Amino acid sequence: MNPPPKPFDIAQWQKKDRGVIVQRFVASAVKMPGQTDPTKTKTLLHWRGGGAYKLGLSGRSTSYDTRKDGSDPVIEVQLISKDFEVSRAAPYYWDTLLAKEYTTTQIYELMVARNFNRYMYNGNGSGCLTWTTALVQLLEDEDVLPPGSVAAFQAKVAQARADPIYWVPDEPGAHFY
């Protein structure tokens, strides 16, 4: 029997970022200081999705992210308002224009409808990358992202994996239930 999922955490998703039309979808890999591969020579990269847009003259984004809490294998999905489009802490990112008009809230509602919070880390690999890839796949399947988005994202992941200073663990690191 599977444990109950954690509710989506939207506490850090500001009201001004809700219902905003997303101009670009960004999947970014941010450096995780102090977290390394088993040889302690490569810095771990954490993957997350995001909807980027302008509010006034400022670039902003809503981050669609995952968080693991200690030894609990159930992953928490967070929506977080950011005052930038792409994090400066992301040595790698992939982005694309959307194939149709879609808002930050519509992405959230799609994730809720598809139970994207029913997700567990299995202790192996890259759970955040598995989840982010599934989100890109969902948005491509729903014609929100253009055809070929998953393949283009996976090419960026391969580029990050080939970098000798960063660590992208193998997949699958988690699973939906």
Q: How far is CA 151 from CA 79, 139, 142, 143, in A?
A: 25, 13, 16, 15
How high is the pLDDT of residue 170? Answer: 86
What is the Cβ-side half-sphere exposure of residue 139, based on CA atoms within 13 angstroms? 36
- Statement: the pTM of the whole predicted model exceeds 0.75: yes
Secondary structure element (H or E) that encloses residue 110, with its range: helix 104-113
1-50 pLDDT, tens digit per residue, is: 889 999 999 999 999 999 999 999 999 999 999 999 999 999 999 999 99
Identify the three-state secondary structure at position 109: helix
92-150 pLDDT, tens digit per residue, is: 999 999 999 999 999 999 999 999 999 998 777 789 999 999 999 999 999 999 999 99
The rounded distance, in Å, linking the Cα atoms of 51 and 132 is: 13
